[in-house]
């Protein structure tokens, strides 16, 4: 489904480009007919159009890929600064990340390549790992009371491991897709690619309640990897360089974080994929982010959060 969504976006983007080219051709024909005076008029009009576009491009953060929420939101939009970079496996199709006692725990996806790993923060070296059976596509993960829960995308199965030994303890079933997973300390919180987040019982994985992420009157869908940070649910918004901050009480959006500046740290080649991985070190207040095939985990801090509006 994720690849399908991406294909739709690429198709729509191509259509927009075609439309622009077609409009350009029509303008040329018209210009020849009406002569030099009209060309001057059209020139002014085009300049105005380009200027308008430039202003919009400046207002809408890079990497938002046409994501319209930032143009209408009334909640703060933070930028980020890089504190430090750490190595990250550029072959890791990252689907979930958390920090615990000096280590990164990471879930990777893709059928036949999915894994759970414990990694050294400074070197990125794998210290423990479990490979999922070939039919499973790994997704979000979370630590809850010395157990690691790892979602699968469309296998409707959550794996539960002993966090110390990585031994598989249980498998539980759920209905629908699994994307991101975190915890508020009492319940597990899960995303499924829509605007809906489910609170689940850690023992049975049954749904206890649901909330729907909403910025003003607008639902915020494509919620992906999750992290619980200072009483808020933070979620990567799939295919964007944005994290949305959500109230666990009612799903209300409390703020946005624009991480597009991180792209300037990343290699330009096409294999670097989407932002997807948030880890919070509550003990020292450190925030880490990474992405699929990203060569770095970034330790970041928020900046410019005081009331900036689009």
Q: Is 89 in the site for Ca ion (CB under 5 A)?
A: no
Contact 246, 253 (CB under 8 A): yes
| Least gap, CB of 260 to Ca ion (angstroms) | 20
Residue position matching structure tokens 């759920």: 174
240: left (phi over 0), alpha (psi -120 to 50) or beta: beta
Quick note: the x/- pattern for Ca ion over 250-289, rule CB under 5 A, is: ----------------------------x-----------
Contact 169, 146 (CB under 8 A): no
Tell me whether residue 98 or residue 159 sits nearer to Ca ion (CB atom): 98
Q: Which stretch binds Ca ion (CB under 5 A): 76-84, 91-99, 239-247, 295-303?
A: 91-99
The H or E element spanning position 72 is helix 69-72
Tell me whether residue 73 or residue 150 sits nearer to Ca ion (CB atom): 150
Q: Is 227 in the site for Ca ion (CB under 5 A)?
A: yes
Q: Which stretch binds Ca ion (CB under 5 A): 38-46, 68-76, 86-94, 223-231?
A: 223-231
Residue nearest to Ca ion (CB): 227
Residue position matching structure tokens 């009612």: 250
Tell me whether residue 257 or residue 278 sits nearer to Ca ion (CB atom): 278
CA distances from 200 to 158, 189, 212, 293 (A): 12, 6, 15, 30
Output the furthest CA–CA distance in the chain (Å, rounded): 79
Q: Which stretch binds Ca ion (CB under 5 A): 89-97, 105-113, 246-254, 260-268?
A: 89-97
Contact 293, 106 (CB under 8 A): no
**What is the size of the binding site for Ca ion (CB under 5 A)?**
4
- Which residues of this protein are in contact with Ca ion, per CB under 5 A? 97-98, 227, 278
């Amino acid at each position: 489904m994720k690849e399908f969504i991406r294909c739709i976006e690429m198709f729509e983007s191509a259509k927009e480009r075609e439309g622009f080219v077609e409009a350009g051709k029509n303008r040329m024909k018209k210009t020849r007919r009406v002569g030099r005076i009209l060309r001057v008029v059209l020139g002014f009009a085009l300049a105005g159009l380009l200027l308008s576009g430039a202003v919009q491009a400046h207002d809408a953060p890079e990497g938002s890929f046409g994501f319209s929420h930032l143009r209408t939101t009334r909640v703060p939009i933070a930028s980020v600064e890089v504190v430090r970079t750490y190595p990250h496996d550029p072959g890791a199709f990252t689907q979930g990340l958390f920090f615990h006692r000096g280590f990164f725990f990471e879930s990777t996806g893709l059928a036949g390549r999915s894994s759970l790993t414990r990694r050294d923060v400074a070197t990125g070296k794998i210290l423990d790992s479990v490979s999922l059976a070939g039919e499973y596509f790994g997704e979000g993960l979370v630590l809850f009371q010395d157990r690691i829960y790892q979602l699968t995308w469309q296998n409707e199965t959550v794996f539960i491991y002993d966090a110390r030994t990585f031994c598989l303890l249980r498998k539980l079933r759920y209905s629908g897709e699994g994307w991101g997973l975190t915890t508020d300390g009492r319940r597990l919180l899960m995303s499924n690619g829509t605007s809906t987040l489910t609170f689940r019982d850690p023992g049975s994985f049954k749904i206890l309640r649901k909330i729907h992420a909403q910025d003003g009157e607008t639902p915020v869908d494509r919620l992906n990897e999750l992290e619980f940070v200072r009483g808020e649910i933070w979620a990567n918004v799939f295919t964007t360089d944005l994290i949305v901050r959500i109230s666990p009480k009612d799903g209300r959006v409390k703020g946005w974080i624009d991480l597009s500046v991180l792209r300037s740290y990343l290699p330009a080649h096409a294999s670097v994929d989407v932002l997807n991985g948030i880890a919070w070190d509550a003990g020292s207040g450190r925030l880490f982010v990474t992405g699929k095939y990203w060569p770095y985990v970034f330790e970041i801090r928020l900046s410019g959060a005081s009331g900036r509006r689009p």
